[in-house]
Structure 1
Amino acid sequence: MTIRNLVIKLTSGAEAAERTAQAFTVAAVAASSGARVSLWLTGESSWFALPGRAEEFELPHSAPLPDLLEAILANGTVTLCTQCAARREITEPMLRPGVRIAGAQVFASEILQDGTQALVY
């Protein structure tokens, strides 16, 4: 079986709770199913890169965001957009363990790999 790559770019946060939960759910399920998953936090989702922020998120009938995030981190990568971090004055030492900051060059290299599917939420 070929391992597939899945890159998900999430632009929403708590203001679009269903879209946000969908992105985390798809990423966690794919990662748990053996896909190489890379979740990119951009825009308002940037805040989920900080400790405690996923724990504040609630959506009825949705898996808890901290559990989904931990599943993604255990089996894939979570990246905070460089420009989004700078606009929010988020720095590396402030990040939840396992989250990295990277920019467009890294994003482009990930989505241009053969066998990669990209989703934007």
Structure 2
Amino acid sequence: MARSLVIKVTAGADGPERCNQAFTVAAAGIASGVPVSLWLTGEAAWYALPGRAKEFELPHATPLEDLLAVVLSGGTVTLCTQCAARRDIGPDDVIPGVRIAGAPTFVEEITAEDAQALVY
């Protein structure tokens, strides 16, 4: 089995280049056949909501909504439990396919054999 990639993105519109880089790497991993888990934390939590990724703008970058669709099509997208709670986001609010989970699940994923964790 291929090495898995766990990507935590903490930036949103407040750090557009970091945010876009995380989504780009996650989508590239999916396109390459790598198992990918993308964690939306901090300001990136907003991109778990319908329509929010469409609002993201960064010149010369693939649209965030397209990158998110790629990751959802072949990987796992998780919204941090605490980040969701701080923003009053519940399970019924998120895009279909996005799960809400916390630190124990993140730790389990990043400590799995052959896992590579990246934080943006």
Residue of structure 2 in register with 1:77 after alignment: 76
Residue of structure 2 in register with 1:9 after alignment: 8
State the 1:15 CA deviation: 1.2
Query: What do residues 39-78 of structure 1 show as CA deviations (whole Å, max 9, x unaligned)?
Result: 0000000000000000000101000111100000111000
Q: What runs of 5+ residues in structure 2 fail to find an aligned partner?
A: none
Identity of aligned residues (%): 63
Matches within 5 A, 1:2-81: 2-81=1-80
2:94 maps to 1:92: no
| 2-structure distance, mates of 1:18, 1:11 | 12
| Shift >4 Å, 4+ stretches | none
| 1-structure distance, mates of 2:101, 2:18 | 23
Q: TM-score, normalised by structure 2?
A: 0.98
State the 1:32 CA deviation: 1.2
Q: Which amino acid aligns with 1:41?
A: L
| 2-structure distance, mates of 1:15, 1:87 | 17
Q: What runs of 5+ residues in structure 1 fail to find an aligned partner?
A: none
| 2-structure distance, mates of 1:53, 1:111 | 27
Q: TM-score, normalised by structure 1?
A: 0.97
Q: Which amino acid aligns with 1:80?
A: L
| 2-structure distance, mates of 1:56, 1:108 | 31
